[in-house]
Chain A
Amino acid sequence: MPETSVKVSKLSWSPNNSFALEGINFELQTGKVLGVIGPNGSGKSSVLRCLYGYIKGWSGSIKLFDKPITEYSALEVATKVAVVQQDTPSNIHLTVEQLVELGLTPHRPLLSLQRPSRVPVLEAISKVGLADKSHQDFHTLSGGEKQRALIARALVQQPDLLILDEPTNHLDVRYQIQLLQIIKNLSISVVISIHDLNLASAFCDQLLLLNAGKVVAYDEPEHVLTQSNISSVFGVNCQVQPHPKVAKPHIQYCYELPTHFERKVKA
């Protein structure tokens, strides 16, 4: 396994006049967790979509495991990279086991009537704590259980790189922590976009802070989550202190907008 899972250099993409990714550079060491943070519309999902080959027409260079992504076929990417998206259709008529089994799709021979082995499927379901719900219909699960089932589906894909787009959205704090613990314990390379900066600080090895399609900071959490970065990018006042229990920065918001931002909102 190469030391670097992802290497992005000078990535630019401009789908229209109102938005563009410009000169994005970062890399992810194998087995580490990279958090992509930034305000709404800053380009987090677009960067992720470039990484799993969904967005085309960008310029620059994206290498997955030391090989340019352009040299991979869609199926090859699917055998190396698993993706859990922000939104999932609500009307999925599959049981948890059937849904998780879909993760085997890139590894199954095309046009085979043979049912694949259930062992990896049941292992993944048990890993995310849904063993007692494997026969339950997906649409009857709670929000947290649905996300865990989708993570299990991604794990069955046996990825070397896991990409998650805001997986903690719509989850209560217990499920947010539970989900991120599961991901952290996987010991594979992970790129995750996340809104909650304290969770990003606690669970990510490195952070990529984006604003308006550009990188503002890329480093370890204590160097990215500074008072000035948060104030200038998100437009909120805060205090950043070391977390009392874990050696990570912890942000306390002041719940008032800075004066220059208030003027901007009024205008």
Chain B
Amino acid sequence: MKNATVIHITGLMLLLISVFFSLSFGSVTTSLIDVWHAVSAPSSSDLLNRIVMDLRLPRVLLALLAGVGLAITGHTLQTVTRNSLADPYLFGISSGASFGAVIFTILASSVGVSASIAASLGITAFAFVGAAASVFLVLILAGVHQQLQVERMLLSGVAISFMFSAFSSLLLYFAQPQAAASVLFWGLGSFTQASWDMMLWPTLVVSASILVLRLVQPWINALQLGDETAQTLGVPVQKLRLGVLLVCSLITAVLVANCGGIGFVGLMIPHLVRMLFQSNSLLLSGLFGGIFMVWVDVLARIALPSQELPVGIITTALGSVFFIGIMSKKNKN
């Protein structure tokens, strides 16, 4: 990749511009000048100002964090498993996280826990336990002490994914209709619940994970040469893979808990970045994941006149078109 620094800085600028522009979209008409006024005087009590700062900004930031988090998770999973099809969904991490979140939601609705910081922490913790459980199950099924066999790991991931999906469906089948409906809507992915109160955990987890993954990046890159060669470079392969999978579980869990199911981003963005920039940069995947999700959220807000589209529907639709495009391009070549 040439001019790596220039591409990274351009990506960062595009991300900031995207965030600024996206604040002007929504059911209430807001010009870019209104947005500028709101951002430059954040504490003003003006109505437009409050809409931008209290409703739209947390939502845009949550979308940004989700895009960054899912893209770096997909990028990392694809590198440590040497499989360009790996993403949190294929590995069962998302299904495990969803199962944990569904258990918490149904329990919380039966005891009457309402939205609060404690509830946000609770759902994140349950989602993480579910995600981590699926990682351990996948590793056990794939043979954790053996050399990584990519096919075994993928098949295990698919099996675990279906298993947790079935458990979630079973719980929903027996749940109260109201709880089931809210879980179903949440499962389609949405940033409508975003508020400043719920930003703490996604911000902390995604930022800390980027730092950790960046620090172990040379080791992760060494895994591309194969487990045995990585070991001859002094990399503790099994421990590294387990640690990285747990970090990916944590990101997925916090995002599933706060935004629901958003598919294809982790799979699509690293592919897109490799295709456009011939780059395998973690940070670049993160930046473009953020830009992508900010604009997907804008589309979710403006696509229908009187209601919002769940973002999961948009990302899945775009993802499938993207992969059909790649396939037909490869066929032509």
Interface string of A65-108 (1 = CB under 8 A from B): 00000000011011101110101110111110011001111101
Q: Which of B221, B225, B235 is the most central at the interface, judged by chain A CB atoms within 10 Å of its CB? A: B225
Q: Is the CB of A83 within 8 A of B229?
A: yes
Partner of B278, one of A99, A103, A137: A137
Interface size class of chain A, counting residues whose CB lies under 8 Å from the partner chain: 20 to 34
**Cβ distance B261 to chain A, nearest Cβ, rounded Å:** 28
Q: Which residues of B contact A255 (CB under 8 A)?
A: none
Contact B219 A105 (CB under 8 A): yes
Query: What residue of chain B has the Cβ atom nearest to residue A83's Cβ?
Result: B232
Q: Is A243 an interface residue (CB 8 A)?
A: no
A111 interface residue, CB < 8 Å from B?
yes
Bound Cα distance A194, B32 (Å): 68
Cβ B234 vs Cβ A88 within 8 A: no
Q: CA of A77 to CA of B236 in the docked complex: distance in angstroms?
A: 13
Chain B residues positioned under 8 Å from A13 (CB to CB):
none
Task: Answer whether residue B233 sits at the interface, using C-beta atoms and an 8 A cutoff.
Answer: yes
Compute how far the CA of A104 lies from the CA of B236 in the bound complex, rounded to whole angstroms: 15
B204 to chain A, nearest CB (A): 19
Q: Report whether B218 and A85 are in contact in the complex, using a CB–CB cutoff of 8 Å.
A: no
Query: Which B79-123 residues sit within 8 Å CB-CB of chain A?
Result: 79, 82, 84
Asked if B231 and A88 sit within 8 Å, CB to CB, the answer is: no
Contact A54 B280, beta carbon cutoff 8 Å: no
CA distance A108 to B218 in the complex (A): 9
Contacts of B225 in A (CB 8 A): 88-89, 92, 99, 102, 153
Question: In the complex, what residues of A have CB within 8 A of residue B228's CB?
Answer: 54, 85
Most chain A beta carbons < 10 A, residue from B216, B235, B274: B235
Contact (Cβ within 8 A) A93 B234: no
- A residues less than 8 Å from B84 (CB atoms): 91
Residue contact B274 to A93, C-beta cutoff 8 Å: yes
Per the 8 Å Cβ criterion, residues 175-221 of A in contact with B are: none
Give the residue name and chain of the A residue nearest to B2 (CB): A135
Q: Which residues of A contact B236 (CB under 8 A)?
A: 74
Within 8 A of A (CB), among B225-256: 225-226, 228-229, 231-236
Partner of A74, one of B1, B79, B82, B234: B234
Across the interface, do A79 and B234 meet the contact criterion of CB distance under 8 Å? Answer: yes
Asked if B214 is at the interface of the complex by the 8 Å CB criterion, the answer is yes
Interface assignment of A157: CB less than 8 Å from any CB of chain B = yes
CB distance from B269 to the nearest CB of A (A): 14
Closest Cβ of chain A: how far from B150's Cβ, in Å? 9
> Does B224 have its Cβ within 8 Å of any Cβ on chain A?
yes
Partner of A78, one of B216, B233, B278: B233
Q: Collect the chain B residues with CB atoms within 8 Å of residue A93's CB.
A: 79, 224, 274, 280
The answer, yes or no, to whether B215 is at the interface (CB within 8 Å) is yes
Q: Which of B82, B214, B221, B231 contacts A89 (CB 8 A)?
A: B82
> Given A88-B225, A92-B225, A54 and B232 touching (CB < 8 A)?
yes
Q: Are B233 and A106 in contact (CB under 8 A)?
A: yes
Give the distance to chain A from B78, nearest Cβ to Cβ, in Å: 9
Contact yes or no, A98 B221, CB < 8 A: yes
Complex interface: chain A residues within 8 A of B222 (CB)? 102, 105
B230: shortest Cβ distance to chain A, in Å? 8
Contact A88 B215 (CB under 8 A): no
A54, A93, A105, A112: residue with the most chain B Cβ atoms closer than 10 Å:
A93
Residues of A near B274 (CB, < 8 A) are: 93
- Is B229 within 8 A of A88, CB to CB? yes
Known A89-B82, A113-B215, A137-B278; contact A102-B226, beta-carbon cutoff 8 A = no
Please determine whether B215 and A94 come into contact, CB atoms closer than 8 angstroms: no
Complex Cα–Cα for A14 and B86 (A): 36
Ordered by A's residue number, 17 sampled pairs between the chains whose C-beta atoms are within 8 Å are A54-B228, A54-B231, A74-B236, A77-B232, A77-B234, A78-B232, A83-B229, A88-B225, A91-B224, A95-B1, A102-B222, A102-B225, A103-B233, A105-B234, A135-B2, A137-B278, A157-B233
User: Residues of A with Cβ closer than 8 Å to B?
Assistant: 52, 54, 74-75, 77-79, 81-83, 85, 87-89, 91-95, 98-99, 102-106, 108, 111-113, 135, 137, 153, 157
- B residues with a Cβ closer than 8 A to A are 1-2, 79, 82, 84, 214-216, 218-219, 221-222, 224-226, 228-229, 231-236, 274, 278, 280
Going nearest first, the 8 A-B pairs with the smallest beta carbon separation are A78-B234, A93-B280, A106-B234, A75-B234, A83-B232, A105-B233, A111-B215, A92-B224
